[in-house]
Structure 1
Amino acid sequence: MKHALLFLMLLAGPARSDGVAGDFDYYVLSLSWQPSWCRTTGDGRDARECRRGSGRDFTVHGLWPQYEQGWPDYCSTDERDPSRRETQAMADIMDPGLAWHQWQKHGRCSGLSARDYYATLRAAAEGIAIPAPFDDLPRDITLPPAVVEDAFIEANPDLALDGITVTCKAEALAEVRICLTRDLQPRDCAPDVRRDCSRPRVLMEQVR
């Protein structure tokens, strides 16, 4: 029995590596539609950013190193973890707790220091214009996911259709994901990232 188990393990090949810091091909910038996250998660936590008057529309979820197929996560790195002050300084674009988690899971794989990873994440987010119709949505609307993609492409002419993907969770818009080179220029996403929402229409809840 022991020999049979060893044989099966050899057939399966080596275990998947968590990745080597700095060894990746491109980034995915993930932007969450804040009202959807608040309804499914944030309200239950009494999250400050979900309170009325917060004005949050698209907020940063993360900046993820990617391979042309698959992605690394939780890489080993000699870089120190970010300080509390560095993490709190991200509060204007994302929840500090999320910023910490993104460093742990994705930032360590970038090969950058925590400070430089946060700066790169901020630069990536600031390099993408949020389409005007969505930056202060006055009411709940439903629309085809392609309308969201087209609006981002119109607001960011360097983006191509294969460089952006829209995801949904149940009936609601979840995220817009944009593929960028290592120097933050738009590029096409690899096939395993291009997993668009298949629903004919998605709900975009009103900005709070």
Structure 2
Amino acid sequence: MCNDIPTKGYVDPGSGFTNSTGFDTVQTDQCCNICADGGVTNIGPYDYLLLDLMWNPTFCNALEDGHDFTLTHMPSMRCSPSLSERLSIHGLWPSWLKTFGTCCNATGSNKPLDPHEVTNEWDNSLRLRMLEDWYDPVLYNGRFNEDNGCQICYVQNHEWQKHGA
């Protein structure tokens, strides 16, 4: 699962970027808790849902230029050429009119996804559809299926913990 991808705590010596998404350790294959060090914001009712889409040509070009507006990739990571012309879902976020919420862990239930549970217990048709439309163009391995388990920790877990969606 996800070989050669830095795990939590990795600091890029060039940019100083600290990876806080993906796998906690390579040995455990467990997703990072991206909210462990952050504070809770906006735990009340939200005003609207924001569907955030990502146009991969723009994202991939920015990544080539050293800019990652998702803040989830190391500077040397690049998009898979086969996905550079697609539109993908980035997230569905509960949002507020005057502020931005993140890591809304009011009940303590905002824990990292378990990639094995997602692979084995989620409805297969929903999971496969999510992998087709909600993916990271950097991590795609050539097939939209359960073999691409790193999508769970790098995309779905990041969005689930940060935004609850």
Higher helix share: 1
Q: Radius of gyration: which is bigger?
A: 1
Q: Same fold (TM over 0.5)?
A: no
Which bracket does the TM-score occupy, shorter chain normalised? 0.3 to 0.5
In the superposition, the TM-score normalised over structure 1's length comes to 0.36
